[in-house]
Structure 1
Amino acid sequence: MSGAVQTGWAPSSDPATPAPARRGRRWLLVATVLWAVLLAGLAWMSVRDDPPTVREQRSVDEAAPVVDRAVGELARAAGAAGLLELGPVRVDAGCRVTPFADGAALRREVGVLAPAGTERSVLTGIADRLPATWRAGVGPGLDGPELRADAGDFVAVEGRPTGDGRLRLTVDTGCRPLGAGYHPKPATGAGPEATALTAALSALDRPTDAAPELVTAPCPDGALARTARSAAGSGPAAPDALAPLAGGTPLLDNPPVYAYRAGDVTVLAELGPDPARVAATVGCPG
């Protein structure tokens, strides 16, 4: 008997090809987990050990000691005879750190004597006496010479003339998270600045019983620069009333601003039509 012979491939008798190996998938999963753990560990070490790389990584309360020390450095650099006052502390809230997060900026000021024509030389002298790490320098600004420096931790220092025989030096954190806020140690005890302030208020026939506002800053040598400030009330007040306390040689007589030295204290009076303001300051040694 004959029959047709079928041509073509003979059916395979081998078992079916196995599914993709699970071993490769397992190793891929293990490698992914190890990589994630490594990245998490590196991130934690960076947060713990590395310095901040942007201002938003430091809150106001973390930057506050830097600001206070910077004010002390400026007070020392200005010299005891050149320092007029430590300005009041300002914390300005309401700025935006990011589109979704509120922030605040801490700002402190230092007033320095600079008679007309000496502004650049006074600023240059201050810049030369600041820490080298601040990279302080003086250059042209919109309204005269300007000092610029970096106190560290993204805290900026600037200085410029005010046009009335003074310079205003500012220390500013810029907008950043508020954190715990700014809570300076309360200044206690009455020093020579309080005595000089009382004498000035008495000479101006102003009340002396109200407690003055006390502002301090740590000097580099551990001492404290101190300003006692008081609103002297409204009504006319003539600088001539302070002339006897100045001994006839005021540091600054540019109405409505008047300043003089009383021993180790500098007294600054602003006697304009607004309520008069008097401040007495003891600077940093050296």
Structure 2
Amino acid sequence: MSGAVQAGYAPPTRPDQPDPGRRRLRFLVAAAAAWAVLLAGLTWWSVRHDPPTVKEQRSLEQAGPVVDRAVGRLTAVVGRDGVPALLPDRIERGCRVTPLDDGVELERGVEVVLAGDDVRELLQRVADRLPAEWRAGVATFDGEPRLRADAGEFVAVEGRAGGPGRVLLTARTGCRPEGAGYRPPAADAAEETAAVRRALGDWGGAAGPVQVLVAPCPGGGTARSARAETAGAASASLAAAFGAGAPAVRDSVDVYARSGDPAVLAERVDDRIRVAVTTPCAA
């Protein structure tokens, strides 16, 4: 038989020659494995050594002051359109910053009681008064008005209905490394605390612990809320415990709220009376 190769057929591979297809496949497998090892090594090194460049790498210690300033500004932009009161901070653990690292989330907020029930109107006024760089806006989600804004440093601000005639404004860090942890700001709140204790006494309750919450104001100074609760008699008048002052925004058996300096919010919840006395940031 002659050595000519019939057209349309590849010449056979001799036993002493490796198959080109198999050789290329082995090369691709080896290259992919090396790339995967290199990528994993770079990711591990970056997580532990690179300077902060994304939100997951900025710690709770760094983000906490941004949240505090955002909360103070929110009390200022509410102005006289409602009665604000600072809420206790919430720290949630167990979120994942990376597949290797746990994280924490901080949320602080302001509850606002309105004269009426038009939540959208208040949210729009708040959005209009926030700094332009926050890019605040109000839209409808699931049939409810919702405010969204960015306070910077990846801190998200949100506003939504918190019940009839009530708005909840929050600032949240998202999942972060804990770092040295969150340290809430502190300030003297003697006037607010004294007003809370007087109200507890008028309602016949013990002068129990008063929680003081603080947030820095944009123009200096601090917003301060003193909060407490007590078992209250059904006949106790919420308004009478605070004497004369600004006209009430709400005054009913279950809720008494008035703006001013300080602002007052008292309400019945089950068999208890809760009260918050707040000095907000100046508008």
TM bin (shorter chain): 0.7 to 0.9
Provide the residue aligned with 1:121 in structure 2.
121
What is aligned with 2:226? 228
Cα displacement (A) at 1:67: 0.4
1:55 alignment partner in structure 2: 55
Q: Do structure 1's residue 65 and structure 2's residue 62 form an aligned pair?
A: no
Q: Please report how far the alpha carbon of residue 160 of structure 1 lies from its aligned counterpart in structure 2 after TM superposition.
A: 0.6
Give how far 1:239 is off: 5.9
In the alignment, the residues of structure 2 paired with residue 57 and residue 168 of structure 1 have an alpha-carbon distance, to the nearest angstrom, of 28
RMSD between aligned alpha carbons? 2.5
Q: How does 1:159-198 map to 2 (within 5 A)?
A: 159-190=159-190, 192-198=191-197
Q: Are residues 202 and 254 of structure 1, via their aligned partners in 2, closer, same or farther at CA, if it must alter by over 3 Å? A: same
Call closer, same or farther: CA 1:215–1:94 in 2, change over 3 Å: same
Contact (CA 8 Å) 1:81, 1:266: kept in 2 or not?
no
Distance in 2, Cα, partners of 1:254 & 1:77: 26
Greater displacement, 97-106 / 178-187:
178-187
Task: Judge conservation of contact 1:89–1:108 (CA < 8 Å) in 2.
Answer: yes
- Structure index of larger Rg: 1
What is the CA distance between 1:89 and its match in structure 2?
1.1
| 2:229 is aligned with 1:242 | no
The unaligned stretches of length 5 or more in structure 1 are 1-42
Q: After the TM superposition, which segments of 4 or more aligned residues of structure 1 sit over 4 Å from their partners? A: 246-249
Q: Which residue number corresponds to residue 92 of structure 2?
A: 92
Q: Which amino acid aligns with 1:167?
A: V
User: 1:153 is paired with a residue of what secondary structure?
Assistant: coil
User: Alignment partner for residue 212 of structure 1, among 204, 210, 213?
Assistant: 210
Secondary structure of 1:187's partner? coil
In structure 1, what is the equivalent of residue 281 of structure 2?
Answer: 284
* CA shift digits 1:57-80 (9 cap, x unpaired): 211111011101100110110115
Moved more, 243-252 or 216-225: 243-252
> Given the two structures, how large is their TM-score scaled by the length of structure 1?
0.74
Deviation at residue 203 of structure 1 after TM alignment = 2.5
**Cross-structure match for 1:140:** 140
Tell me how many residue pairs correspond in the alignment: 236
| Gap regions ≥5 residues in structure 2 | 1-45
Q: 1:187-236 deviations in whole A, cap 9, x for unaligned? A: 3351x32232123222222122x34111011111101100001122x354
Corresponding residue for residue 264 of structure 2 = 267
Letter in 1 for 2:222: L
